[in-house]
Structure 1
Amino acid sequence: MKVKELIAKLEKLEPDLEIYGYTEDGSLAKPNKPFYVFDIDGVDVQIAETFRDENRSPCITFGESENSRKVAFLNVTTDF
């Protein structure tokens, strides 16, 4: 998702609503905790390279490289 796409979606919401992240990603799920909720505690920009490893899992490396670019991050925490 691009920043402009996220902004367009957020602009349709009431501006005073709290916002949280949510995932049911199987790689994080545990038998007693099938989902996680995250509080967004910041936004920043980093230089990073995204790629898939030999198992096709998504990965990221921070710093300058031949294939790096600016990427926006929503910083999240489970402590809210």
Structure 2
Amino acid sequence: MKIKDLIKKLQQYDPEQSISCYSEDDGLRSNGGPVQIFELLNISEVDAESSRLEDGSGRPWLKFGKSNNSSKFALIEITSDA
């Protein structure tokens, strides 16, 4: 999702309303338990290179730091300690 898309979606809601995040990813659920809820802590901008892990999982990851192949990313920091 791009920042402009997130802003457009958020403008539909009360600006005083709280935000929580969740994921239905199996790796974040314990034994079919409830969906894990996350609280937003911060948003920042970083330089990083985007790629996928070569461990067979293909999960996306970021290598932080400025390089010839890096781009700017907006990162949303979350916590499960809501």
TM-score in terms of structure 2 length: 0.87
The residue type equivalent to 2:3 in the other structure is: V
Residues 1:25 and 2:30 are matched in the alignment: no
Q: Distance in 1 between matches of 2:65 and 2:34?
A: 33
Aligned match for 1:67, one of 69, 73, 81: 69
State the match for 1:57 in structure 2: 59
* RMSD between superposed Cα atoms in Å: 1.4
Residues 52, 15 of structure 1: alpha-carbon distance in 2 compared, 3 angstrom cutoff: same
Is contact 1:24-1:34 (8 Å) kept?
Answer: no
Give 4+ residue runs of structure 1 displaced > 3 Å after superposition.
Answer: none
What secondary structure, in the 3-state scheme, does the structure 2 residue paired with 1:27 have? helix
Residues 1:46 and 2:52 are matched in the alignment: no
Identity score, percent:
36
Is contact 1:21-1:39 (8 Å) kept?
Answer: yes
Tell me, which stretches of 5 or more residues in structure 2 are unaligned?
A: none
Give, in angstroms, the shift of residue 32 of structure 1.
5.8
The residue type equivalent to 2:61 in the other structure is: C
Is contact 1:49-1:69 (8 Å) kept?
Answer: yes
TM-score in terms of structure 1 length: 0.89
